[in-house]
């Protein structure tokens, strides 16, 4: 069995074990389970190397737009508060609100925009690898 798959398998067994030994009033809700990003593209295979998990909390100010960027690894996010629109380089877009979970685009330029009067808060989970970058910002062309 591939080393990365073995690691994922062990984590899954651990989570199932924890779930079976929890008090009866403990609740689990699946927010997202998918093999595709929000625009319908199939997620890529995991790269070789030591897995490196990153979880970030991001706060995007009101009336602001993120730079064009792309993610080098599979990642997903949950909107905790506010509203966010994500737009790809091909103009595909997705409007998100508090409680929405989504799988981000991988290796596709896109940006997020907060058109509302309050900040957007979200939690982002990256399934990366040691020594790799999760996100790359697109360099602006000087005119």
31-137 CATH fold? Jelly Rolls (2.60.120)
What are the tens digits of pLDDT across the range 3-38? 655 556 566 555 555 555 656 778 889 999 999 999
Residue 17's pLDDT is what?
57
pLDDT recorded at residue 142: 61
At 27 the pLDDT is 86
Average pLDDT, the chain: 88
* pLDDT tens-digit map of 80-111: 999 999 999 999 999 999 999 999 999 999 99
- The pTM for the full model equals 0.78
Mean pLDDT of 45-56: 91
The domain limits of the chain are 31-137
120 and 60 in contact (C-beta within 8 Å)?
A: yes
């Amino acid at each position: 069995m591939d080393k990365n798959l073995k690691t994922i398998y062990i984590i899954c067994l651990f989570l199932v074990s924890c779930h079976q030994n929890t008090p009866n009033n403990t609740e689990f809700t699946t927010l997202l389970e998918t093999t595709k990003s929000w625009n319908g593209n199939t997620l890529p295979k995991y790269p070789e190397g030591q897995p490196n998990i990153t979880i970030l909390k991001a706060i995007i100010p009101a009336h602001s737009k993120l730079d064009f960027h792309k993610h080098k690894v599979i990642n997903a996010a949950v909107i905790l508060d506010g509203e966010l629109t994500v737009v790809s380089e091909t103009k595909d877009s997705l409007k998100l609100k508090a409680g929405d979970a989504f799988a981000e685009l991988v290796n596709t330029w896109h940006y997020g925009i907060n058109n509302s009067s309050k900040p957007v808060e979200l939690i982002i989970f990256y399934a990366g690898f040691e020594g790799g970058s999760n996100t790359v910002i697109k360099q602006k062309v000087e005119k």
